[in-house]
């Protein structure tokens, strides 16, 4: 596996956008201390996606990417959207209200562990020594970051379990995306998967949150705008680009700095406490990243006489 310079730039921007989004999500659905009324989470997500979808369409038009999805591709698109977007976005926006933003990010980004396990159990993948080192380092980092949170998580066991389930489903979707034979450009598929997820969010919020709808307060409005522009108009497409162009374990471990950034940005912006485990985990995440992203040494060839 080789990593291109473009992939590294996309990865850096993706890490920044998704890492900062965890405290943004928490702020958007939980409110400021001066106005701590929870905002309906599914309505928040629906508004974000309704704002991001036209921007994504404009990006496709600027790049001259066709928007049409042939009838034969609708079935595969739905099957990819379910594990990669629909389940993930519905679950995390509900669970993040009950967890700190940093710990929600950590639970959600346990995904690389599930990628490795599912790849071995379901798809016959074999892990090389460096990939195995990356998985172990990422797992230890997650364990350290959660070590002092078991008491808090015990107060919200369903939210914690839901985040882990969402991570496992996303891991399965990553494998399916990597192996899918696409009959359309990747960005076309991203647009229609986002559109399907938007429809799902709208239906869910109409069914379960209609009496709670209200005009977003300023903090929530900024969070909605951030998600529309940075997450759904850029980051979602960037992730699928990496997931298609890199092996599943490498692409998933390559985003392991996101929970670290989510933890520290949550501490900075929301005053969430930090512990020694947070700092120790940074070193382990760096090891995991280096194990899968640094180029392998080329074998030495001996010329035949």
**Are residues 40 and 213 in contact, defined by beta-carbon separation less than 8 angstroms?**
yes
Q: What is the pLDDT of residues 146-198, one digit of tens each?
A: 766 666 665 567 888 888 899 999 999 999 998 888 889 999 999 999 999 99
> DSSP for the chain?
----HHHHHHHHHHHHHHHHHHHHHHHHHH-BTTB-PPP-HHHHHHHHHHHHHHHHHHHHHHTT------GGGHHHHHHHHIIIIIHHHHHHHHHGGGS-HHHHHHHHTTHHHHHHHHHHHHS-----HHHHHHHHHHHHHHHHHHTT-HHHHHTSHHHHHHHHHHHHHHHHHHHHHHH---SS-HHHHHHHHHHHHHHHHHHHHHHHSGGG--PPPHHHHHHHHHIIIIIIIIIHHHHHHHHHHS-HHHHHHTTTHHHHHHHHHHHHHH-----HHHHHHHHHHHHHHHHHHSPPPPPPPPPP-
Cα dihedral 46, 48, 49, 53 sign: positive
Residue 185: the pLDDT is 92
Looking at per-residue confidence, does 297 or 9 come out higher? 9
Most confident of 90-99, 120-129, 228-237: 228-237
Is the pTM higher than 0.95? The answer reads no
pLDDT tens digits, 23-65: 999 889 988 766 778 899 999 999 999 999 999 999 999 999 9
Residue 267's pLDDT is what?
84
- b/e map 25-43, b = 16+ CB within 10 Å: bbbbbbbeeeeeeebbbbb
């Amino acid at each position: 596996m080789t990593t291109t310079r473009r992939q590294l730039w996309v990865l850096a921007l993706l890490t920044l956008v998704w890492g900062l989004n965890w405290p943004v999500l928490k702020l958007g659905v939980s409110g400021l201390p001066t106005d701590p009324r929870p905002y309906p989470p599914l309505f928040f997500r629906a508004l974000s996606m309704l704002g991001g979808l036209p921007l994504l369409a404009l990006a496709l038009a600027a790049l001259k990417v066709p928007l049409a999805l042939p009838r034969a591709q609708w079935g595969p698109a739905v099957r990819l959207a379910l594990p990669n977007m629909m389940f993930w976005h519905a679950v995390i926006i509900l669970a993040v209200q009950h967890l700190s933003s940093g710990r929600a990010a950590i639970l959600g980004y346990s995904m690389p562990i599930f990628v490795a396990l599912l790849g071995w159990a379901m798809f016959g993948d074999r892990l090389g020594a460096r990939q195995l080192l990356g998985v172990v380092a990422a797992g230890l980092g997650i364990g350290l970051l959660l070590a002092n949170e078991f008491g808090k998580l015990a107060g919200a066991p369903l939210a914690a379990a839901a985040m882990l389930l969402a991570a496992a489903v996303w891991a399965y979707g990553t494998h399916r995306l990597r192996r899918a034979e696409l009959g359309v450009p990747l960005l076309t598929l991203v647009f229609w998967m986002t559109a399907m997820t938007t429809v799902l969010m709208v239906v869910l919020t109409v069914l379960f949150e209609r009496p709670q709808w209200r005009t977003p307060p300023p903090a929530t409005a900024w969070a909605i705008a951030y998600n529309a522009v940075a997450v759904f108009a850029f980051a979602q497409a960037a992730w699928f680009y990496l997931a298609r162009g890199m092996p599943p374990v490498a692409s998933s471990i390559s985003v392991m700095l996101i929970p670290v950034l989510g933890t520290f940005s949550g501490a900075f912006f929301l005053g969430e406490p930090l512990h020694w485990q947070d700092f120790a985990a940074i070193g382990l995440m760096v090891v995991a990243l280096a194990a899968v992203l640094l180029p392998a040494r080329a074998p030495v060839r001996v010329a035949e006489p």
